[in-house]
Amino acid sequence: MDEYLDVNGVRMRYRIEGSGDWLVLIHGVGGRLEQWDQFVALLQGKYRTLRFDQRGMGETSKPEGPYSIDDFVGDAYGLMQAVGIQRCALAGCSLGALVAQGLALAHPEMLDKLILLAGIAGRTEEEKRLVQERLSIVANGIPGQHFENSVARWFTDEFRAQHPDIIAAYAASNRKNDPKAYAAAYGVLANTDFAERLREIAIPTLIITGEYDKGSNPRMARFMHEQIAGSKVHIIPKLRHSLLIEGPRQVLDLVEPFLQA
């Protein structure tokens, strides 16, 4: 059941399910807590999960931008404290993986394990140019336009052909985003890079990305692995960016042994 709390002047929608050790789940840009539906269902209540809509997205309030990575980190930390989390495992996807990196750097005492799905770090100059082009489309476009431009980058051709209903539902959800808030959040995704600080992370870390993910590519995953001592890295064959929608079972098959280790 959804609940709401005021954190840092933002009214946040969140959901707690399951029992056992805490596992906090942070969704990507333009998403909402439902992005984790399949993953949480596959967990079958084995962990006590906290997931929430980040500021500017879903049913959480949408303050005027610009936003910063510190805003998202502060919101997540404030909510975790408010619901009584002292220690947890933390998983973030895409923008959520950046927020997770920020939490690992700012509040390592709270985290037992760190999971970075389709994460970003160490962009090349060409990758910076491409993400700025996408930011320009988001900032100057209409809701859903970025999704329509990006659907082929996010999902494999086979998945799109076999599941038009899922793609249509995902597109409809994306179109509901407030354009200004979406652009403010996308600006954080486009302009944040913890490459110079990753060596500070000493938490057991699992890094996962799709083989054909262009924006959060295998090179970045391997770079994060090289920077974070003792980390593990897995590249899921054939998948692109939407790991949680297209490959939740493959993700869980990597995440669950890591959590249990």
Q: What is the CATH number of the domain that holds 142?
A: 3.40.50.1820
Residue 135 sits in which domain range? 2-260
3-class secondary structure, 166:
helix
User: Is residue 33 within 8 Å of residue 58, measured between CB atoms?
Assistant: yes
Residue 57's φ and ψ, nearest 5 degrees, are -135, 155
Q: What pLDDT does 150 receive?
A: 83
- Chain-centroid distance of CA 32 in Å reads 10
Beta bridge partners of 88: 111
**pLDDT tens over the chain, length 261 residues:** 899 999 999 999 999 999 999 999 999 999 999 999 999 999 999 999 999 999 999 999 999 989 999 999 999 999 999 999 999 999 999 999 999 999 999 999 999 999 999 999 999 999 999 999 999 988 887 656 777 778 888 999 999 999 999 999 988 888 889 999 999 999 999 999 999 999 999 999 999 999 999 999 999 999 999 999 999 999 999 999 999 999 999 999 999 999 999
CA dihedral 195→196→202→204, nearest 10 degrees, is 10
Residue with tokens 């006590």: 48
Angstrom distance (rounded) from CA 112 to CA 147: 34
**pTM here?**
0.96
Q: What pLDDT does 163 receive?
A: 95
**Domain count for the chain:** 1
First to last CA, the chain: 30
